[in-house]
Chain A
Amino acid sequence: MTVTDTGIVTVSASGLTLRHGGTAVLDDVSLRLEEGITGLLGPNGAGKTSLLRVLATAVPADRGVFTALGHDPGTAPGRLALRRTLGYLPQNPGFHPDFTAFAFVDYVAILKELTDRAARHREVRRVLEEVGLGDVRGKRIKRLSGGMRQRVALAAALVGDPRLLVLDEPTAGLDPEQRMRFRDLITRAGQGRTVLLSTHQTEDVAMLCHRVIVLARGRVRFEGTPAELTARAAGRVWSSPERDPGARAGWRTATGAFRNVGDPPEGADLLEPTLEDGYLLTLDGAEATAR
């Protein structure tokens, strides 16, 4: 692990390529993760889930290498060592619906080699308390709400106190209140850990992440801090009474005026950029490259 200006590099990937059916779903992806929460932003089909699966050791890359927490998952011992300190929340986590929340997390804890019954039960209880499900731990999963199920899945990822957390769109499908609660949980989970969180919601990144990676068409289009991504849109966001035909993107805001993103005309009424503006311009650049 190396130390950079912003923190300790815990995961480092180089040239990751994954092909499926002749299409490169990941195309020469290189990145680094540091301790703390990194957001992986990208539209649907960008390759986020594929990248997370590779980093979670669920799928081996066709080409490229990565190391995580000092382990090389390209080797069987390295993969095992990494898995022992990995928590993974898949995009669509599955449950045995007849299990209680406790039984499910207990089951995952067994898969994570926590074989001592008393110690395992203590750990299961701890993580369920941590995600705020202590009171419903005896309830069957099929009786829990969507938000609670997602928290059960997060508890399963957290069991065993992993150092690397890979979370695939954990806030998708949650209502605003649940999303806020989940963000709070992720913030706490990110303390002292390396967390990679995929999302297509810029608010998640703005609120949670100290670093962000933008992925589009299987390639990394941006890697840096949220402030740096926002800065990409500095001087490139302006307001106009009607949609500006020269804008890359534009939408009517609550005030009735249009917010335009792109290359502003001279004398335009410039606005303070947001993370979303920077993200949209980055995606637009990716599309232009693809064209």
Chain B
Amino acid sequence: MNTDTNPPHDEPDARGGTGPLGGTDAHGGSGPLGDTGPGGGTDARGDAGPLGGTCRDGGTRPRGGTGPSDDPRTRQGAGPRKAAAWHLDEEDLRAYERGELTPPLLWSADTHLAGCAECRARLAALADPVALDAAWQRLDAELDAPRPGLLEGLLVRLGMAGHTARLLAATPVLRRSWLLAVTAVLVMSAAAADTLRAPDSPTLFLALAPLLPLAGVALAYGPALDPTYEMAVVAPMHGFRLVLLRTVAVLAVGLGVNGLATLALPAYGLAALAWLLPALALTATGLALMPRLGPVLAPALTGGGWVVFLMVTVTTRHGDGPLPPFTAAGQGTAAAVAALATGLLFLLRNRFDSVTPAFTHHSHGSTL
């Protein structure tokens, strides 16, 4: 190969030898000249062969009886045709080594090198040993690289940076088992609400749904379910960033699952969405209390407070209307709480930078 306007492989080869890209290769076998090979037919990628179709100069490669190359640089001597009877010329090898060879010539060189030990050896001799070693290491490291799971792959396809997707995919709470458990609870609560046929709102569903994102966020960060918590805390990545990343991920999943459950309650219309603002309020409050109370106690108290509050409103309400948190006024209050807690959370962001009191306490008891 070279970069002439008329590639040498398009010229007749009186010797009847095989050209650099038209003969023996790892895929096409050792066919006679003009046979369909990587240069004459379909290449390894299943596309039109790089040299068998339209050439770079727009011409068409001659077939049948025309030798692929008469360029002296590529002529390695005539003789009986055998595996790798021709070889890549020096200039092309150098371009290949420098990474400057472009498709389709690159593909052809790839294909030939795969089947020709001699050219591989010449290439290795040309290459800077340090660069070659680095290239092998890069390749090996890529082969070692963990295959992205379903979630990670999806996040990357959605445009998220690979390293961020990995951080999210390692969130324990996003694991399948947890999702299944959450879904089961929601299905049950939605079914219960549907069965009870409450007149104005699916109270049981609305009471349970806000707790799920809260629980998810609590489990997504902190020592409870993150085995690498202590390593993560002392890493330069800001703890608050990790919290936010995982919160957003868990909220997206939790709210999504809740949303699907809401769709299962069409009879209630928008009233079935009254869980959303309380869910945001509870999650933000639980997070804001976390630096002070720890990742277990903070959401537990927040969730417990929500349950107690609902029980009080159930016992004191008059009539059959929705419970106060699910009325317009209640929704406004929930929005205000969510905003306040989010502000507080922002103010306390640096407190996520060291291990929580609960973790220190636990560890003192067991490891000192």
**B235, closest chain A residue (CB):** A111
Interchain nearest-CB distance for A83 vs B (Å): 4
Count residues on chain B whose CB falls below 8 Å from chain A CBs.
Answer: 39
Please determine whether A94 and B230 come into contact, CB atoms closer than 8 angstroms: yes
Please determine whether B227 and A102 come into contact, CB atoms closer than 8 angstroms: no
Binds A, one of B48-56, B90-98, B358-366: B358-366
Let me know if B329 is at the binding interface, CB within 8 A.
no
Q: Given the complex, which residues of A lie within 8 Å of B361, measured CB to CB?
A: 20-21
Please determine whether A83 and B167 come into contact, CB atoms closer than 8 angstroms: no
Q: Given the complex, which residues of B lie within 8 Å of A108, measured CB to CB?
A: 228, 231, 235
Let me know if A93 is at the binding interface, CB within 8 A.
yes
Q: Given the complex, which residues of B lie within 8 Å of A45, measured CB to CB?
A: 368
Let me know if A14 is at the binding interface, CB within 8 A.
no
**A50, closest chain B residue (CB):** B368
Bound-complex Cα distance A97 to B225 (A): 12
Please determine whether B142 and A60 come into contact, CB atoms closer than 8 angstroms: no
Given contacts A59-B360, A125-B141, contact A53 B355 (CB under 8 A): yes
Please determine whether A138 and B233 come into contact, CB atoms closer than 8 angstroms: no
Question: Which one of B167, B231, B354 contacts A90 once the chains associate, using CB atoms below 8 Å?
Answer: B231
Let me know if B232 is at the binding interface, CB within 8 A.
yes
Count residues on chain A whose CB falls below 8 Å from chain B CBs.
Answer: 53
Binds A, one of B16-24, B158-166, B178-186: B158-166
Please determine whether A80 and B236 come into contact, CB atoms closer than 8 angstroms: yes
Q: Given the complex, which residues of B lie within 8 Å of A125, measured CB to CB?
A: 137, 140-141, 144
Please determine whether A111 and B232 come into contact, CB atoms closer than 8 angstroms: yes
Given contacts A57-B234, A84-B236, A107-B228, contact A76 B166 (CB under 8 A): no
**A48, closest chain B residue (CB):** B368
Binds B, one of A5-13, A114-122, A179-187: A114-122
Please determine whether B360 and A20 come into contact, CB atoms closer than 8 angstroms: yes
Question: Which one of B229, B237, B354, B364 contacts A25 once the chains associate, using CB atoms below 8 Å?
Answer: B364
Please determine whether A100 and B364 come into contact, CB atoms closer than 8 angstroms: no
19 A-B pairs (CB sep. < 8 Å): A20-B361, A25-B364, A47-B368, A49-B367, A56-B234, A83-B236, A93-B228, A93-B231, A96-B170, A96-B227, A103-B146, A106-B145, A108-B228, A113-B237, A117-B162, A118-B138, A121-B145, A125-B137, A137-B144
Q: Give the 9 A-B residue pairs with the shortest CB-CB distance, closest first.
A: A94-B227, A121-B141, A111-B235, A103-B146, A83-B236, A110-B163, A90-B230, A84-B236, A102-B144
